[in-house]
Each structure stands twice: as C-alpha cells, then as structure tokens.
Amino acid sequence: MSTKKSKPYRVAGAKERLLAQREAEAAAARRRRRDTAITLLVVVAVLVGVVSLFGWYQATKKPDASAGATASAGATATATASASLAFAPVTVTDGQGLRIGVAGAPHVVTLYSDFACTHCTEFETTYGQTLANLRDSGRIDIEYWPLGFGSPGSARASNAMACAAERDPAFAVSLYDAFFANMGSDWSNDQILSLSTQLKPTLPAGYETCVTGGTHAAWVTGIYNLAKTGASSGGTPTVYVDGKQFDLTTGSAESLAAALS
C-alpha cells in the first residue's frame, strides 16, 4: 500500500473567483459609503436652506399690530384707549427705566423684561391686562426696563420704545404690547417702523430718525448692565411692587392686583 499523501483537490480558477468576489464586495462597500455621504450632504443642504429661509422670513415678515391682541392686552385697543389718558411726560435718563402712567399714581410697578424673552411673553399673557387696567385707571405707574439683551433685534425694539416714550407715552405702551404680540420677529428697523405706522399712522416728529439712528442704544446697554447684577440678576421677567420684589413663582394676576389695592 502506498503511503504517499495525495494533494488536496483544487478547483481551477477558485483563487481568481475569490479575489474577484472580495473586490466586488469592497466596491459595493465603497458605493454604500459614497451614497451615504451624498445623502448626508443633501440632508445638510436642505436643513441649511430651511434655516436660511426661516431666517429670511423672520427678518422680512411684516409684523401685525393686531396679532395676539388678547395675550398682549390688545396692542391696537390699548393704543386707542390710551390715547385720551393724561400720561405724564417721559424723559429717557441713563440708568433709569421708562416710567409711564398718570401723574400722581400712588403705586409703582417696576418691570424688567426683554422683547426676545419667551417667559416675558408668558408674563404679559398672564399679567398684562391687569397691569394695563391699573395703569390706565391711574392706580399705578409702570416703570419699564426693556433690557434688550436677548438679541440685536430686541435691543433695537428697546431703543424704539424709548424713542416713542419721550414723544408719546401712550404710543410707547401700545408699541410695548405689540412687540410681545409679535414674539419671534427679528425686529429690524424696517419691521419696527412698519409696526409703528400700523399703531400710529402719523408718527411723532423725529421718531423715525431716532429708531434708525439708534439714538438710545447706549441707554439700552446701560440699563442692562445695571440690572443684570442688581435688581434683575435672576433674569427676566422680574417685577417689583413699590420697591419690593413680587414672587412670580407663587403669585397671580389677582394677588398682584391685591398688593396694589
């Protein structure tokens, strides 16, 4: 019997077919990676386009003076109702808020807010009408501190409110309400002037130049720097009633009104 070992059986061309199979698998993997990369690029491009389009829309959309009238105490209605009130003149003074109300009001509510602050919008929805009624009846003055730190647009809106307050305090009140009623707007100067003319078709002399020129931009920066380490260090909104902080975590519109009775 022969003890010579036989050679293993080999199929002709097996090595070549194995190499070809591996090459095909590698090529397929490369195609999958390429297709995945292309898909990701398309998704990113679409997302960038959507974000850019939304930014363009926010920057160019025309604000509506009547939007959110209930939540903001009625921007248009407030403008009409307040027109006949004898609000005391307002002077924009460095380091001080805008005190608006009837001369000789027995109480002062100091309100630190920001036009880009969602919690401030919620505050206006809950408390805005109560404060407006108390102010317009002569029960309180409201000292507005529109801090303007949330965005460049918010700072422009704060400047515009100061421009309005020194010319027509009732107009400033309606503008304040309308800014919150149009929460989310970029507040370019064009948007601010569009909103302003809806509220007051004949704008006060010098108002437009004051808005576009940023006349009170330094005042906006100054009140923010003062408030952030002092009375409003906890953020916005912050409310004081006759110098004593009002607890917004436990308070309500009713309890605020009771504190001012």
Rounded to the nearest integer, the mean pLDDT of the chain is: 83
pLDDT at 75: 40
Whether 127 and 256 have beta carbons less than 8 Å apart is answered as yes
Find the distance separating the first CA and the last CA of the chain, reported in whole Å.
122
Whether 146 and 113 have beta carbons less than 8 Å apart is answered as yes
Task: Please determine, for residue 107, whether its predicted confidence score (pLDDT) is greater than 80.
Answer: yes
Which range (16-20, 56-60, 142-146, 188-192) has the least confidence? 56-60
106-119: average pLDDT: 97
pLDDT at 38: 74
Contacts 24+ apart (CB under 8 A), 92-98: 92/162, 92/165, 92/166, 92/216, 92/219, 94/218, 94/219, 94/222, 95/222, 95/223, 95/226, 96/223, 97/143, 97/144, 97/145, 97/223, 98/143, 98/144, 98/145, 98/146, 98/161, 98/162, 98/165, 98/172
Pairwise pLDDT comparison (48 vs 198), residue with the higher score: 198
The sign of the torsion formed by the CA atoms of 96, 102, 105, 110 equals: negative
Give the start-end residues of each E strand in 58-195: 98-100, 107-113, 140-146
- Residue 67 pLDDT class (50, 70, 90 cuts): low
Task: Please determine, for residue 187, whether its predicted confidence score (pLDDT) is greater than 50.
Answer: yes
Cβ-proximal residues to 131 (8 Å cutoff; 6+ apart), any chain: 73, 109, 111, 140, 142, 256
Q: Retrieve residue 74's tokens.
A: 């009625």
pLDDT 10s digits, 237-259: 999 999 999 999 999 999 999 99
Tell which residue, 23, 17, 128, 4, has the closest CA to residue 70.
128
Whether 192 and 144 have beta carbons less than 8 Å apart is answered as no
Backbone conformation region of residue 61, classed left if phi is above 0, alpha if psi is from -120 to 50, else beta: beta
Task: Please determine, for residue 173, whether its predicted confidence score (pLDDT) is greater than 90.
Answer: yes
pLDDT at 88: 96
Tell which residue, 189, 160, 185, has the closest CA to residue 172.
160
- C-alpha triplet 79, 67, 240: angle, nearest 5°: 60
